[in-house]
Amino acid sequence: MPKKNKIKYSLRNVHYAPITINEENGSASFAKPIPWPGAVSISISPDGEISVFYADGIAYFFSAPNSGYSGDMEMALIPDEFETDCIGNEKDQKGMIFETNAPTAKPFALLFEFEGDVKAQRHCLYYCHAARSEVASETKSESVEPVTDKLSIKATPSPYVKDAKGRNLIKIRSGDNADEEKYNAWYENVPLPDEAAG
């Protein structure tokens, strides 16, 4: 029987994969995942509250909609490429990154993993948007203390990727007995469940 993780720790191996949308036929495709070094932390919470309908003097029906996740990701730096690929900023011919009052945020898949005592647990959020980060730093004192960048991330059900039953995909992660070939290729292409349509 294969060993199972007892704990998880340490965010690492963050990648993002820009999504190209074909406006003519409504399809979409993922770019090859791009490494994003400098992972510090990620904290995303489920969106969608449980609602209860009461009848006959009891909790008669429960509804728990899944609207995705939202939260924050902290990184050492936001790369220029991510700003132009996903946040909607632009780059001029002299390498200046600029933003306007009408940025167009672009969707992307977000891939990352947590270390485990046996094996890393890998995750992929299929349809993410990121808000602009704050501009902040501090003066240097006796020691250099790095100042990180923090992004607000919203992951919603993908309108372009569905499972075999036609349900919109939100996230996938590697299980304890994940197929080795699929696990090892996690960052080569955005991973999909068997028979997913995209």
C-alpha span between 73 and 190 (Å, rounded): 19
> CA triplet 61, 62, 67: central angle to 5 degrees?
145
In the chain, DSSP finds a helix count (H) and a strand count (E) of: 2, 13
pLDDT score at 198: 55
Q: Which residue's entry shows tokens 């005592």? A: 117
SS (H, E, C) 149-192: EEEEEEECCCCCCECCCCCECCEEECCCCCCHHHHHCCCCCCCC
Q: Which residue's entry shows tokens 């963050």? A: 14
pLDDT score at 88: 87
Predicted model pTM: 0.88
56: DSSP letter = T
- Residue-by-residue pLDDT tens, the chain, 198 positions: 678 889 999 999 999 999 998 888 878 999 999 999 999 999 999 998 888 889 999 889 888 888 999 999 999 999 999 999 999 888 999 989 898 887 788 999 999 999 999 999 999 999 999 988 877 777 777 777 888 999 999 999 999 989 888 999 999 999 888 899 999 999 999 999 886 655
